[in-house]
Amino acid sequence: MGDSIGMDQRQYVLFELCGEEYGLPIDSVQSIIRYEEPTPVPHAPEGVEGVFNLRGQVLPLIDLGRRLRGEQIVPTPASRIIVTESGMGSVGLAVDSVHEVASLLLSDIRPAPQAALAGDTAEAFQGVATYSDRLVILLDPDKALPKPVLPSTGLVQEGDPGA
Domains annotated on the chain, with CATH: 9-143 (2.40.50.180)
> In whole angstroms, how far apart are CA 114 and each of 21, 107, 111, 117, 118?
18, 19, 8, 5, 8
CA distance 58 to 56: 7
The per-residue pLDDT for 52 is 95
Q: What is the pLDDT along the chain (163 residues), one digit of tens a residue?
A: 444 566 789 999 999 998 999 999 999 999 999 999 999 999 887 778 999 999 999 999 999 888 888 888 899 999 999 999 877 789 999 999 999 999 998 888 888 776 555 565 667 788 899 888 888 999 988 777 766 544 443 444 444 444 4
- With beta carbons less than 8 A apart as the criterion, state whether 30 and 90 touch: yes
The per-residue pLDDT for 75 is 93
**How many other CB atoms sit within 10 Å of the CB of residue 148?**
16
The per-residue pLDDT for 7 is 76
**End-to-end CA, the chain:** 29
The per-residue pLDDT for 33 is 97
The per-residue pLDDT for 114 is 66
